[in-house]
Structure 1
Amino acid sequence: MKNKFDIGDIVTLKSHPLAYQEDGEIDAYVNQIPPFMCVKEIHIEKKKQIFSSEMPSAKIADNIKYLCVYFNQHRMIFEEGYVYQDTIVLLSDVTFHNEQKELKEGHKKLVEETLDYKNSSYEFGKRIFFKTYKLEKRKKFRSAGQDSNSTTKTILTHTSPAFILNGFKLNNQKSIYNAKNGELQRKCSEELFKVLWYNAFQEKFSEEYLPKEFFTDDKRIYKPLKKIDSISKRRGIDQKKD
């Protein structure tokens, strides 16, 4: 069995409204929306019990699990947890939606834009962003008590701040391969960035080492899609004039 996801991939639980609701519009209690997460580690366990001993047809586990990380905006820290491969979906399988055609196209572009982000290079003191930053900011929630044609509102959940690069190290946690057949057993990031941010919950600065694949310095992540599009069009016009 092969892993479907890689280090740094953005995933979420299959229970996320944007992963299963027909039109992609969020109609759920805001505090019950699972976060978008980045894959930190991949674990493949061949000898694990997959099916129940009490009911052989009942699957209770998976050979492949992932250690995933998200930002807890209430505690202002990164949280992590293991999830099985069959319980999560890639960002590319998520649908952003809005009733207005122009914004609907913008939401589609947001997924494409996010998947196009390059990993940040290391530079001490540089501002960078967790790759889920814009996704969490752009989610739309249906107004409570309204029908399907109601307006939507944006509510920030799992939104991370900007981070400052202030450290680098090689990962002591190494990838592991089977000595006999060379098959992957555990995959980890090779390089870690130490990031600094202000923790408003604890009223202090926080730091943590995390995979470099989690972060981007792409300017598009903190600019509106419309603004980016207008800038690109303007540049095209200026180039034609030249």
Structure 2
Amino acid sequence: MGILVHTCPHCRTERIALEIGGETVQGATEYSRNAFLNCPKCKQPSCAVFSVIVRKPFGVVGQQSNNPAHNMDLMRRAVNQQGVPANGDPTDQNWDLTSLWPEVPKPRLPDSLPDEVAKAFLAGERNYPQENMEEAAAGSYRRALDVGTKHLANEMPDADDFARQQLNNRIEMLRARGRLTQDLADWSHQIKGLGNEAMHAMDGITREELTALRGFTELVLTYLFTLPGMLAARKADADKAKC
């Protein structure tokens, strides 16, 4: 069976062998084929477009000439006539992956995050779409909130006390200082895993609870880092315009 080793655009499992179930010629494009794929894990379909690329030149019996361009065209025609290989990965042979539909979704990442906060949030994004990885994703999102709020400790008059507080208390303190809105602070009381129970609350977290935690985390990080970063950039542009 032909396969394409790639990230599934639906369950986002990385380096999974998507099964090639059939192919068609792509319209009038002589050297391209559409291949229909199936993910063995989530069973969702996708489609790939492959284009001929001759990686190892070979002879075409009785048709070779002294013109390299002509010979390459003959080789491409020969590969195209054979179609996408019935065994193995086409990209290991004489085909390149041109596009995949649907595209693999890119992770949502707020701008201007400190490196450690971005790393934790991206870990959550990698695990979020995958079945049975809800607890791992939730733990990463919570870490992004924990590290992100602690990152602001030096801006607080009571830095040491702020850093020692539980995450939910830090959120309330940020609200009291005008860094977060009242609505976000109120929402935090409905989000699983932000209180004193900490990581133990992630055990058995549901998909609905994880989605709420993801959205809350993204908004909090946007308020704490992205919006201030945008404001600083606009101010810098305005200062340059005055010069």
Under TM normalisation by the shorter chain, which class is it? under 0.3
Q: With structure 1 as the length reference, what TM-score do the two structures score? A: 0.22
**Using CA pairs below 8 Å that are at least 6 residues apart, which structure has the higher relative contact order?**
1
Q: Give the number of the structure whose alpha-carbon radius of gyration is greater.
A: 2
Larger proportion of helix: 2
Larger proportion of strand: 1
